[in-house]
Amino acid sequence: MPRVLPITNFTLFSGGLPGRGRSSQRALQTTTNATTIRDYTAGDALSRIHWRSSAHFNKLMVKEFDLDPAVDAWVILDLHDTVQVCQGEHSTEEYGVTIAATIATYFLRQDLSVGMIVNGQQREFLSLDRGDRQIERVLELLAVVTSGPGPDLKEALALDALHFGRNTLAIVITPSNSRDWHEGLRHLQRRGVKVAVVGLNAASFEGGPQDEDTLALLEGAGIPIARIKCGESIALALESSHETRYALR
């Protein structure tokens, strides 16, 4: 079975979705039910500032909101063989599988409905579901997937675009440094899908010179990006703060 790393939040979405059950989950967009007031942190939208509390405490305070349990999360793992490097434990394939297992399990433990798409040896599609049984299905799928010449990421995003609605998160995990698939992701973003990317730095796995950071183009379009290099702590990278992330509006 793939490794599942213990993470307490997923930082590409501000407020994090802290792992204490449905009552403490936080929204990715403003809902009608504010549940807590907390200190302002860098990256919070100004529209979330609670001015009365800020005046009372003499510091900026922001509102937290309940996470809508109807939000669906899709994890898209790019295992196309043309973008994978190295083999074994320190390969982009192994890192990608671990990241997919970790993120999917984290969301499922927050009682979100999670689906998974893998483009590797062939296209693998796991329908949306929630709960412990879905965790088992996710791990069983990731235990057998391998890289291969199936649909590339551009094709995969086009094939599955209809599955993603406005109340959807779509997290792409890829070592691809190509720009070919960027438009597909921006198309989802324009439709109201909350998209994010976990980018594996392929050059760091090979020990070669740094490639052009094409993910910066997506970041400039407001898409949250987490970059992970070979040898870095995956859990820390997923939990650490990033300049671009989804904030409540």
Establish if 17 belongs to a structural domain.
no
The CATH number covering residue 132 comes to 3.40.50.410
Establish if 146 belongs to a structural domain.
yes
- Adjacent-strand bridge partners of 169: 73, 194
| Domain extent at residue 45 | 32-65
DSSP string, 79-110: -BGGG--S-GGGSHHHHHHHHHHHHHHHHHHT
Contact between residue 140 and residue 92 where contact means Cβ atoms under 8 Å apart: no
Q: Is-above-0.85 flag for pTM?
A: no
For 134-163, the pLDDT digits (tens) are 999 999 999 999 999 989 999 999 998 888
* pLDDT at 190 exceeding the cut of 50: yes
For the chain, what is the domain count?
2
Out of 49, 65, 81, a domain closes at: 65
> In a 3-state reduction of DSSP, which class is residue 183?
helix
For 56-111, the pLDDT digits (tens) are 788 888 776 544 557 899 999 999 999 999 999 999 999 999 999 999 999 999 88
